[in-house]
Amino acid sequence: MAEAKIILVTGASSGIGAAIAKRLAGEGHTVFGTSRNTGSAAPADGVRMLTMDVRRDDSVAQAVAQLLAAAGRIDVLVNNAGFGLAGAIEDTAPDDMRRQLETNLLGPLRVCQAVLPAMREQGRGRIIQISSLGARVGIPFQGAYCASKFALEGMSEALSIEVKPFGIDVVMIEPGDTNSNFPNAREWTEAAKSSAIYAARARHAVAVMAKAEHAGPPADKVARLVSRAIAAKRPKLRYVCATPIERAAITARRLLPGRVFEGVVGAVYALPKAK
């Protein structure tokens, strides 16, 4: 086995984050997981839970300080904490978008900034961002979520170049449909809850996605890919965790004219015409 690492996994109380923490601890790494409420978390064996709200500077700083005090260093950060917000763009108020970005974009930014001084001083480190295939394709009625993941990847590409001279690698993991608690925790914008214009189409599209997610591969498939990215001497910038159909969609996105691909996406979600 590769050298044991000191690893921080955000959002480790359930779903993909819990699967990642469990697998890495089982491989012999020292794993610290985070949750906004550690009292309600059920961590895997060998995972030490820290309280962290990625939306708050002080909470992030305190949790990272606790890890460094206990372990003396940090080798790997897995930025996993996040959630999905559903609703038509017309039904997405600026405050809704801010709430989505606060967790999915500014959260990873805060945690990166908190661990980077220690990684730079060590002269090594690895930051793994749990992104999404929603960073490749705009998914109808999940525009805020896709915006957060598009932005996360742009930020991560820039970060990768900036920190490379310090021996720090940045990796993005792009899961497709995954059987986890993510669809159950999906939230709706306030206006979407009572929208007479988009309600039927939005509910239908999200139901189609939720069905695919529940039928998708287990969260441990993403965890195995994270483990592979940690063990790699020269990790790739992106790792895709997707079904053959999803991989075909990525290729189609690149090859088809934009409007043609747009029609394909609409057909996948069997979107009825607006009345």
Please compute the mean of the pLDDT values over residues 257-272 and round it to a whole number: 84
Q: How far apart are CA 65 and CA 254, in angstroms?
A: 43
Residue 149: active-site member: yes
Catalytically annotated residue among 131, 132, 156, 195: 131
Where residue 172 falls (left for φ over 0; alpha for ψ -120 to 50; beta otherwise) is beta
Question: 96 vs 82, 88, 146, 196, 218, CA distance in Å?
Answer: 14, 11, 13, 19, 30
Per-residue confidence (pLDDT) for residue 92, from 0 to 100: 97
> Is residue 245 situated within a structural domain?
yes
Domain residues for 254?
Answer: 6-268
Model confidence pLDDT, tens digit, residues 53-63? 999 999 999 99
Which of the residues 14, 145, 148, 269 is marked catalytic? 145
Q: How far apart are CA 109 and CA 237, in angstroms?
A: 18
Residue 269 has pLDDT above 90, yes or no: no
pLDDT digits (tens, 9 = 90+) for 153-208: 999 999 999 999 999 999 999 999 999 989 889 999 999 988 889 988 999 999 99
- List beta partners, residue 77: 8, 127
Q: What is the CATH number of the domain that holds 144?
A: 3.40.50.720
Q: Which of 9-23, 33-47, 143-157, 187-201 has the lowest mean pLDDT?
A: 33-47
Residue 155 three-state SS:
helix
Please name every residue paired with 85 in a beta bridge, in sequence order, or none if there are none.
187
pTM assigned to the model: 0.92
User: Which of these is catalytic: 148, 149, 195, 239?
Assistant: 149
- pLDDT tens digits for range 48-105: 999 999 999 999 999 999 999 999 999 999 999 999 999 999 999 999 999 999 999 9
- Does residue 275 belong to any structural domain of this protein? no
**Into how many domains does the chain fold?**
1
How confident is residue 1, by pLDDT bands cut at 50, 70 and 90? very low
For residue 30, being part of any structural domain is answered with yes
Asked, for residue 146, whether it belongs to a domain, the answer is yes
Annotated catalytic residue 156: no
In order of 139, 142, 221, the CA distances from 156 in angstroms are: 21, 21, 22
Q: Residue 42: pLDDT band by 50, 70, 90 thresholds?
A: low
Tell me if residue 145 is catalytic: yes
3-state helix, strand, coil in the chain (%, to 5): 50, 15, 30
Query: What's 219-268 look like in SS3?
Result: HHHHHHHHHHHHHCCCCCCEEEECCHHHHHHHHHHHHCCHHHHHHHHHHH
In a domain, 43, yes or no: yes
CB 162 within 8 A of CB 200: no
Tell me if 273 is assigned to some domain.
no
Residue 201 forms part of a structural domain:
yes
The structure tokens listed for 107 are 């959260």
Which region among 6-10, 122-126, 242-246 has the lowest average model confidence (pLDDT)? 242-246
What pLDDT is attached to residue 194? 86
Judge whether residue 41 has pLDDT over 50: yes
In a domain, 1, yes or no: no
